[in-house]
Amino acid sequence: MTESPETNKTLSIAIVSGKGGVGKTNIALNLGFALHQQGHSLVLLDADLGLANLDVLLGLSPEKNLQDLLAGENPDNIVVPLAPEGFDFLPSASGVAELVELDEDIQGVLMHKLDSLFRRYDFLLLDLGAGINPTVLAFAAMPQERVIVITPEPTSLTDSYALIKVLSTQHNVRNFHIVVNMAETTKEGQTAFNRLAQACERFLNLPVRLLGIIHRDPMVTESVRHQVPLLKFAPTCQAAQDICDIAQKIAERRSKLAELIARSPVLKSIV
């Protein structure tokens, strides 16, 4: 892509996890709300193809989804506005087997159809499926940034390490940001990150960055039960504040990248 940095302003971020049940989709949704509240435009893409559930967390039943896009529907007809100021949602389908195993050509067609839409926003957030399914890996490798969601559980750490290993060795991905979710204490969250980071450094020669720690909070479960995003349901609770802090770091990351691109003729030519 050869557009100027002013045109190609979108920072794309894949939000992914090594295993299910770590709160990845809930974090993706609430990061979207946090970035929107901080004044940014964004589109949230449910890229958990075949097992989509962002619409459930939102209490929505969209009429169209990515399956319709592949069938020839205009992307603008699929977008669901979540706020009038530029927070939009692109739903996927649940229980559609052919979406789970998209070959590379179909993946390319899908992203090409969406490219002009994505460029309207400050941020593109992709909520991906868990694990190392080939479709998950392909979509995780596409964006500029990756956020890996882990919990302090040993199975989460081992599965996340496996995900990072495959992305780095088979897809040449080197930049990973870690969010520790459901931490009982800050110390527990830091310890979990340290264990993962040490394994990545020792066996992959790959540094990973801690983006933030989200503390275990009963309001998260209540918000899911009520199908209301946490930042709207309980905006002052601990987990909501943790997510807002992470969103602020993401916004600062975008600003730094924009400054770097503006100063570098080489980067201008490839973004």
Cα separation, 220 vs 160, whole angstroms:
22
This prediction's pTM: 0.90
Mean pLDDT is lowest, of 50-64, 168-182, 215-229, for 50-64
Rounded average pLDDT over 107-132? 90
What is the C-alpha radius of gyration for the chain, rounded to an integer number of angstroms?
A: 18
Confidence of residue 267 (pLDDT cuts 50, 70, 90): very low
Confidence of residue 99 (pLDDT cuts 50, 70, 90): low
| Whole-number average pLDDT of the chain | 88
Of 163, 191, 189, 192, the C-alpha closest to 176 is: 163
Q: Is the pLDDT of residue 98 over 70?
A: no
Q: Is the backbone of residue 39 left (phi > 0), alpha (psi -120 to 50) or beta?
A: left
Rounded average pLDDT over 28-35? 97
**Residue partners of 185: CB distance under 8 A and separation at least 6:** 215
Structure confidence at residue 37 (pLDDT)? 95
Q: Is the pLDDT of residue 96 over 60?
A: no
Strand order in the sheet with 87-90: 80-83, 87-90, 42-47, 123-130, 11-17, 145-150, 177-183, 209-215
Confidence of residue 67 (pLDDT cuts 50, 70, 90): confident
180 forms bridges with which residues in the sheet?
150, 213
Confidence of residue 100 (pLDDT cuts 50, 70, 90): low
Rounded average pLDDT over 204-229? 97
Torsion of the alpha carbons at 32, 37, 43 and 48, rounded to the nearest 10: 10
Q: Is the pLDDT of residue 266 over 50?
A: no
The CATH homologous superfamily for domain 11-264 is P-loop containing nucleotide triphosphate hydrolases (3.40.50.300)
The one-letter code for the residue type at 70 is: L
Confidence of residue 47 (pLDDT cuts 50, 70, 90): confident
Rounded average pLDDT over 77-99? 81
- pLDDT tens-digit series, residues 234-253: 999 999 999 999 999 999 99
